[in-house]
Amino acid sequence: MAGRILILCATRLEMAAFFDRNPAGFTEESDKGLTKFSSPDQSWDLVISGPGVFNAARALTVCLERFQPEFIIHTGIAGMFDSVGLNLGDAAVAVTDTYIHTGVDFCRPGTGQTADTDPKIMQIGPDHQAFKISKDHSAGIDALSALVPQSCALGYQMPLDPLPFDLVDGQKMTRQGVYILDPDLAGSSRDLLDRSLGCRVIHGPFVTVSSITGSYEKAAALSQAFSPVMESMEGAAAAHVAALYQVPMVEIRAVSNRVGERDKNRWDIGKAVQRVADICEIILKERT
């Protein structure tokens, strides 16, 4: 038998079908905000981390310290980018995951208004970078937005310039929030799922965001900047912690919606949740 496996997922909703298929198949315990489910033979644990990068990083750190798993399945539902041609209920495996908010962010000279050209914008910092702050605080959000150059309408330059230091020692790509997942593991997982799931399965770069993309315009900008296949809110955080502990991790997500689509009537969470259960069952069967 392989070493103990950890399934990490943000919410109970995403694991609902997996729970339904195993009504009495595991034990449950909760401690300090984490809920852990364990298989009867103790070959795997499932932990609900809570949504977002901070919850994911905290939960995975606790799990790696307490349970010392030898393999991590990070899973859940996610939005897919139109350019990859997936359908709702399809799946994707990450080869990289980028936390898009990592780096040095500014509106470059010559791209629009700055503090030097518009007196309504405050100068902040030694390089006089322009921020979305008005000296007239009563101006309101609309006025603040009007002060921002069109080139910065998304709130940041994409992709950001690199930080001057590694976030994970020896991994220079982390200076721009890019985490490289084991390519052999990603490829073999994709091949396994492609043979077994009965839907389209691809592998490619993911992006992790802290704010859900709310428009097709922003989705298109993200697609152009990062060429991603899927968007989530936890993947890069989990990849960061897994890299620090040097524990292999595969990130696999099922498509619940198109990135930028905010009408949930056009989502299919139920189908994606069923696919997450399929993914977990297939990977667990292969590795236990």
CATH number at residue 49: 3.40.50.1580
Quote the mean pLDDT of the chain.
Answer: 85
Mean of pLDDT values over 83-101 = 96
- Residue 231 sits in the same domain as residue 111: no
What per-residue confidence (pLDDT) applies to 117? 41
Residues 6+ apart with CB under 8 A from 90: 80, 199, 200, 201, 202, 254, 255, 275
pLDDT for 120-153, tens place per residue? Answer: 333 333 333 333 333 343 344 343 334 333 334 4
- Residue 98 sits in the same domain as residue 190: yes
Q: CB 34: neighbour CB atoms within 10 A?
A: 17
Extract the tokens encoding 243.
């890299």
Residues 6+ apart with CB under 8 A from 207: 97, 98, 99, 100, 222, 226, 228, 230, 231, 232, 236
- Residue 24 sits in the same domain as residue 86: yes
d(CA 201, CA 163): 34
d(CA 220, CA 112): 21
Domain count, the chain: 2
First to last CA, the chain: 5
Q: Rg of the Cα trace of the chain?
A: 21
Extract the tokens encoding 44.
């795997």
- Residue 142 sits in the same domain as residue 270: no
| Percentage with pLDDT > 70 across the chain | 81
What per-residue confidence (pLDDT) applies to 107? 58
CA angle 104, 109, 110 (to 5 degrees): 140
| Percentage with pLDDT > 90 across the chain | 73
Mean of pLDDT values over 88-115 = 79
Q: Is the pLDDT of residue 56 over 50?
A: yes
